[in-house]
Amino acid sequence: MGYNIEINDEKFNYIANVEIEYKSLPGLTREIIEEISEVKQEPKWMREIRLESLKVFQSWHDPRFGVDISDLDLNKIIPYIKPKAKKTTTWEEVPEEIKEAFDRLGIPEAERKFFAGVGAQFDSEIVYQHIKQELESLGIIFMDMESAVKEYPDLVKEYFMKLVPAYDHKFAALHGAIWSGGTFLYVPKGVKVPLPLQAYFLMSNPGMSQLEHTIIVADEGAELTFIEGCSAPRYNVINLHTGMVEIYVKKHAKVKYMTIQNWSKNTYNLNTKRAIVEEDGVMSWISGSLGSMKTMLYPMTILKGKGAKAESLGITYAGPGQHMDTGSKVVHLAPYTSSTIDARSISVGGGWAFYRGLLRIGENAEKSKAHVQCTALMLDNDSKSDTVPIIEVYNSDSDIGHEARIGRIKEEQIFYLMSRGLSESEAKSLIVKGFIEPIVSSLPFEYAVELNRLIEMEIESSIG
């Protein structure tokens, strides 16, 4: 029986030769922050947020959990690089080199077929942002964060770093000091966005950081799907990604947030994502974490209103040299709230997958229901997998379930498939595909195909 795997990672490893308009010095000082703020022509209130965040950063210790970050020297990281390209809503006006980089990834070709709108960030700045005209006429705001700061200051002030304040942890403070780019999305009451909106982030320079900030507000009864993609070419020096996502799900609203992260293996990915859900609102996280050298990411949902609901479905892949410390957090604060977490990890070639989760059922969250399932699959004897699911229940009238399974791939499964004509890598790829099927089937078709291809590439490079 024939079974061909087509391996082509050229599009993810393309280095665009783009002219730079402004590049800050490496490191983190008050002078660098003021210079970034000046280049962006920011209002005084945003500059004050940055400088206050710097103070918090300088007083915070490193995280006492997660991945080892002792090799991450922030004094060598360039916090801000502005490409020579003006922000535009017309793809034809984007510089050719930048267009080629995004075209190789299928953007904005995908926009024309599948999306209601697309934002594309190159290094530290959004270079392209567009939404279909008929949706804009419904009152939807979909723009880069810098423009929102200037055009909707009161709206941005109401939500910016209110869910994740600078004092939350050291890298939240770092983000507050040197954030750049990202998306502001507001969907008015009762508006249901018929197609997904997408943001794509590309880092192209060695030794840089990318810290985009995304705010999504789904007003009462609104519904939307947002897809985030990340990529970077490989370099021999460390890059840093410290993005932040804050999502506000109002009464009866629904938000689905999908991520496929494929940073290169020289990248520290230290992201923070958080959502707060009001009465009968629904928040869904779907994520595929494949790239980066080391990742710390634990999307958190706060169920604030009665009947609010959270769903989290994630796949983590740790290949050679990768340490992926990921998980989910859900906090139930109101009665009749419910949540499900399905976290799956694959480790191969000496990779280390670590699930770190928190489920907290508050004193006032009576009649709540929650189920946590974490499953780990190791493809060889060199790889590691750990799970630390913490469950705290502060009332006696809730229904909680938990399952955890860690196991190595079975030799008899490999033998059976190889006896049917598959190579070892093809057999492992097929087993992995079955393992991640629930996540893949939740994605739009084109993203499901992409996730499958990425997994195949990783398995092929890990075991030959």
pLDDT tens by residue, 66-75: 999 999 999 9
Average pLDDT over residues 133-159: 94
Cis peptide preceding 108, ω within 30 of 0: yes
User: Which is higher by pLDDT, 215 or 85?
Assistant: 215
Residue with structure tokens 């990202």? 182
User: Which is higher by pLDDT, 234 or 244?
Assistant: 244
pLDDT (0 to 100) of residue 452:
74
List Cα–Cα distances, 196 to 63, 118, 119, 254, in angstroms: 35, 9, 12, 13
pLDDT (0 to 100) of residue 8:
46
List Cα–Cα distances, 89 to 94, 133, 212, 438, in angstroms: 9, 11, 19, 36
Q: Specify the pairing of strand 117-122 against strand 125-131.
A: antiparallel
Question: Which residues are 258's β-sheet partners?
Answer: 227, 286
pLDDT band at residue 178 under the 50/70/90 scheme: very high
**Each residue's pLDDT tens digit, 401-420:** 999 888 888 888 888 889 98
**6 has a pLDDT exceeding 50:** no
236 burial via Cβ count (<10 Å: 0-12, 13-18, 19+) = exposed
Read off the tokens for 46: 């945003």
One-letter amino acid identity for 68?
Answer: D
**284 has a pLDDT exceeding 60:** yes
Give me the torsion for CA of 38, 43, 46, 47, rounded to 10°: 40
Largest CA distance in the chain: 68
Lowest mean pLDDT among 124-133, 333-342, 361-370: 124-133
Question: Which residues are 231's β-sheet partners?
Answer: 202, 262
Average pLDDT over residues 19-29: 93
Reduced DSSP (H G I as helix, E B as strand, rest coil) percent helix, strand, coil of the chain, to 5? 25, 35, 35
pLDDT (0 to 100) of residue 261:
87
**145 has a pLDDT exceeding 80:** yes
Neighbours of 237 (CB within 10 A): 10
pLDDT (0 to 100) of residue 389:
92
Model-wide pTM > 0.75: yes
Read off the tokens for 118: 């697309």
Question: Do 88 and 94 touch, CB atoms closer than 8 A?
Answer: yes
Local structure of residue 168 (DSSP, 8 states): G
**Each residue's pLDDT tens digit, 321-357:** 999 999 999 999 999 999 999 999 999 889 999 999 9
pLDDT band at residue 203 under the 50/70/90 scheme: confident
DSSP 15-42: -----EEEEPPSS--HHHHHHHHHHTT-
Give the ranges where 137-258 is alpha helix by DSSP (H): 145-151, 153-159, 170-178
Average pLDDT over residues 412-439: 84
**Helix (H), strand (E) at residue 271:** none
Q: Which of 106-115, 224-233, 368-377 has the highest mean pLDDT?
A: 368-377
Residue (of 109, 115, 215, 105) closest to 158 by Cα position: 215
pLDDT (0 to 100) of residue 392:
97
Lowest mean pLDDT among 6-20, 89-103, 361-375: 6-20
Read off the tokens for 290: 């494949």
pLDDT (0 to 100) of residue 13:
61
Give the ranges where 370-444 is alpha helix by DSSP (H): 411-418, 424-440
Mean pLDDT of the residues in the chain: 89
pLDDT (0 to 100) of residue 225:
95
**Helix (H), strand (E) at residue 222:** none
**2 has a pLDDT exceeding 70:** no
Question: Do 121 and 200 touch, CB atoms closer than 8 A?
Answer: yes
pLDDT (0 to 100) of residue 11:
56
Lowest mean pLDDT among 106-120, 162-176, 290-304, 412-426: 106-120
**448 has a pLDDT exceeding 80:** no
137 burial via Cβ count (<10 Å: 0-12, 13-18, 19+) = exposed
Buried b (16+ CB within 10 A) or exposed e, 336-345: bbbbbbbbbb
Angle at 323 between CA 374 and CA 378, to 5 degrees: 50
**160 has a pLDDT exceeding 80:** yes
**445 has a pLDDT exceeding 80:** no
